[in-house]
Copies of this chain bind each other. A is one copy, B any other.
Amino acid sequence: MGMSRAALGRLPLYLDYLHNLADASPYISAARIAQSLNLGEVQVRKDLSSISGKGRPKLGYLKAELTRDLTLALRGDAVSYAVIAGAGSLGRALLDYEGFSVFGLEIAAAFDSDPQRLGTSARGKPILPWTELSDYCRSKDVRIGIIAVPASAAQTVCEAMLANGIAAIWNFAPCTLDIPDGVAVKYENLALSLAHLKTLLRTTD
């Protein structure tokens, strides 16, 4: 790719913007993306041209083509494996969520300390004993850990993941984690997403 990490990190923003775009035109310009996302136009042009060429003069990019090229760039060349801690309803929902594979991501298994939850998910993914996390992560080169346990257990789970080679954490537990430098972390706050939608409902006073 030859793309900087910062540029790569902007690709999901562009894709999310395209997914949420309401208007009917098949085209989108780099200038409009830059303005909508509060980014510099030169930067956006450079990012997009490196993965999807220059676009049509005066029209910009075909949205469908740009979406495809952004997805391919995010997919990269190799599959990254993730595991989930916590096989409650959210953990199992994530384990069976379709659509990760398009980005070269595979949630390989979930782990839980409750023997009653072990076995397989609705779509046949393994739910394994928590004590097997270490062997599993090392044998499969798992780099991403997803935390779907209660907040009270999240820090302990996080430390076990980091001790077993995981370098990026996606945290669904409603708490802040104490994480060493160099570990990537993303906090997913579903309640905040819904709160954002609620702000669109309110009328201006």
Contacts and interface: CB of A to CB of B under 8 A. Distances in A.
Contacts of A187: 16, 19-20
The A contact surface, by secondary structure, is mixed
State which size class the interface on A falls in.
Answer: 35 or more
A186 B22 CA distance: 11
Stoichiometry, as copies per complex, reads 2
Interface string A69-113: 000001010001010000011101110111110111100000000
Contact of A12 (B39, B143, B195): B195
Nearest to A15: B192
Given A105-B195, A191-B103, A89 B82 contact: no
Interface stretch (A25-33, A154-162, A167-175): A167-175
Interface of A: 1-5, 8-9, 11-12, 15-16, 19-20, 22, 37-39, 74, 76, 80, 82, 88-90, 92-94, 96-100, 102-105, 121-122, 143-144, 146, 167-168, 170, 174, 176, 179, 184-205
